[in-house]
Amino acid sequence: MLYWSVIFLIIALVAAVFGFGGIAAASTGVAQILFVLFIILFAITLVVRLLRGRP
């Protein structure tokens, strides 16, 4: 998921350089949503891992 977040961020930057404001805004929004989702899933995984302990 972090990969897709970076891809959408790059698309947003390229679109902004060429002056496509709508595409840049949409890509930036998608990248932000994916990044936040990635962070939330990482935190959940980390907490579950700490609660389970090592096998």
| DSSP for the chain, written as a single string | -HHHHHHHHHHHHHHHHHT-HHHHHHHHHHHHHHHHHHHHHHHHHHHHHHHH---
pLDDT for res 55: 65
pLDDT for res 43: 92
- Structural domain count of the chain: 1
Residue 39, both tokens: 């962070």
Q: How far apart are CA 24 and CA 54, in angstroms?
A: 44
Structural domain for 31, as ranges: 2-52
Radius of gyration for the chain, computed over Cα atoms and rounded to the nearest angstrom: 16
Q: What is the pLDDT of residues 15-27, one digit of tens each?
A: 888 887 787 788 8
**pTM, two decimal places:** 0.62
pLDDT for res 1: 64
Q: What is the pLDDT of residues 1-55, one digit of tens each?
A: 678 778 878 888 888 888 877 877 888 888 888 888 889 988 998 898 899 977 6
pLDDT for res 38: 86
